[in-house]
Structure 1
């Protein structure tokens, strides 16, 4: 009887140890204390910095024989290094108060890529835009009118960032088709409505 009790105790201890090793943690990264950097970069204004705007709109528009394009750089600086990402979701919100327009339109699905060269929020522009990689890039569906983009699964990209923190500097967002008239109205980390600011939710566990 005592042996059975001892065996049960050992098995229970092993179970608790296993649960502890495999337990998942959650972290939510949002615009507080400067831990998020974002900026808009504009093809027609290649040397101008747009880091203090309340919106970070993805945009393309034919203007004469040329096409104007806006892209977005976004960096959640506190993504932990060397962890196992179970899942990660990027939340972007529609900005109804944008002076650019009141609804998103066009074939405005966009792609998210990992940035692999440094950039400074107050200096970045189209002319000095950082380098990206298309490894594990994420494609999103069309954003309709005044709706938020669907919750975006960026698990693979966040794992890449965690695995290579020294060469990762956030995300670049750009329209999949930059040759059409398209717009996605998104709120930036400077938006006066805190609930609209970009947010990254990560579920992770320690690497074994």
Structure 2
């Protein structure tokens, strides 16, 4: 998928670690984008060129038809190991003639990560891809029958897509309760009005992308935190690890060296509330990179 791309990139080197500051990426493809609809009433029909993203459950000729849209953005420009600071997904309403021309009914939505491959011009209800409910995003019932769905927070879903890129193939959008009569009518990337195309805005930090050769499991509790937090990690052989804390602009804030246990206590001290990036690694490049949030 080709995309409208907006990048701001600053490379700084701190203590031998290459840190790329926050990058802003805007994706809003046109007809070259990848999206489709699948319908239960016509389970072998492909709708890869539909101009709408229209999750609905409707009775047609006495039969229930459930429609689920799928959409995938091209994330290939985001380096492996990047930390997603935030990601916002936007969809835009447009009037359509069938089955209804406005949002209606009990139309709360859920957005899920697709975990198997699908092809825009061959996907159908019968061969629809699998999804995971991990970090799925819930959207409440529409408050206006012509509202846009702007700045939906899909940060955790995007992080999952970067962390597990081989098993990430976009979003599936469906009604939370697929019961008639309910619908949400939004424009797809095939709509003639480019201003209505779905948009994904991502802010990410490629911190330490080339420094972590093999990742280990890390848990941080609590996160977010107010005063202190405990980072636990795999270290069965009591190897020496170094912990570094960075601001999202790439500047080094704190270093804790020669950690040979499996726990690190992180003190807030005088740090202001906000998002921070940490890196934990040993001399062989084994470790992890992630986010810390101070409230």
TM-score range with shorter-chain normalisation?
0.7 to 0.9
2:86·2:202 contact (CA, 8 Å) conserved in 1?
yes
Unpaired runs of at least 5, structure 1:
1-14
2:55·2:183 contact (CA, 8 Å) conserved in 1?
yes
Residue number among 15, 20, 27 corresponding to 2:25 in the alignment: 27
What is the number of equivalent residue pairs in this alignment? 191
Spell out the pairing of 1:1-208 with structure 2 (5 A cutoff): 17=14, 21=19, 23-32=21-30, 34=32, 36-62=33-59, 66-79=63-76, 80=78, 81-96=80-95, 98-100=96-98, 101-143=100-142, 144-208=144-208
Unpaired runs of at least 5, structure 2:
1-11, 209-295
1 or 2, which has the higher helix percentage? 1
Relative to 1, partners in 2 of residues 1:21 and 1:161: Cα closer, same or farther, differing over 3 Å?
same
Relative contact order, higher structure (CA 8 A, sep 6+): 1
User: TM-score, with normalisation over the residues of structure 1?
Assistant: 0.85
1 or 2, which has the higher strand percentage? 2
Deviation for aligned residue 1:21: 3.2
1 CA distance for matches of 2:94 and 2:21? 37
Question: Once superposed, which parts of structure 1, at least 4 consecutive aligned residues long, lie more than 4 Å away?
Answer: 15-18, 63-66
- Larger-gyration structure (1/2): 2
RMSD: 2.1
User: TM-score, with normalisation over the residues of structure 2?
Assistant: 0.61
Deviation for aligned residue 1:53: 1.4
